[in-house]
Structure 1
Amino acid sequence: MQKNLHPSVIKFKEFVKNNPALIKEVRNGNSTWQEMYEDWFLLGEEDNRWEKLGAKTSSHVEPEEETKGDWMSKILGSMQKMDPDQIQHYVNNLSQALGAIQGVISQFQGNQSKPVQSKIEHKHPFSFRKD
């Protein structure tokens, strides 16, 4: 009955089957499946969020050097795991949101700071003189 699911969805389903506490979280209305999937996809199975919810994290342990990595490497690692189309979708949404914010700000500013443009009109682009 399963249609062709993305491999990450299949892995998430396995993660949920191994952690029934996540099902209780969704049924209690504390979270949605979409939120759970996005957190799982971006943060991974080893994140502290899952331990707080009572889920068992996977058994392999990362070396201490990797877990102490800076935030930039974590973000880049998360972006490498993401689908490029999904990244493009998020960037488009962010761009639209920023455009809306700029529009609201410009409405509140009104006519306060319009730049003054000096217009110098030339009738002819070249100045020719008669001999």
Structure 2
Amino acid sequence: MQKNLHPSVIKFKEFVKNNPALIKEVRDGKSTWQELYEDWYLLGEEDNRWESLGVKASNSVEKNDENKGDWISTILGAVQKMDPNQIQHYINNLSQALGAIQGVISQFQGSQPSQVKPKIEHKHPFSFRKD
């Protein structure tokens, strides 16, 4: 059974499969997988560091953009790649942050004296009494 891996790990595995020089780098003991992954994640696939290892820069991102041409297909492609669970997590975090901001704002507003006096409303406009 294969565990559900983070999308960035899956992309890194594809990067390694396309560049066997990285495997040789690790087997020779010059680098670790962790170091290579961190460099790949922080620097990207187009960085000069990969050229020094004999890795060819991938132009797959540029080819995909040229093939799609119009913005609708680009948006649809992005929507298809979204992970619903991750989006829900981000929405929950955003909601909690907004709630905290609202709480802080309400505390500041609560400490200021209110300038509007509440109206006293009577149930009946005229008070009639029976004699």
TM range (shorter): 0.3 to 0.5
Q: Kindly indicate whether structure 1 or structure 2 has the higher relative contact order, using CA contacts under 8 Å at least 6 residues apart.
A: 1
State which structure, 1 or 2, has the greater radius of gyration over its C-alpha atoms: 2
> Going by fraction, where is helix more abundant, 1 or 2?
2
* TM-score (norm: length of structure 2): 0.47
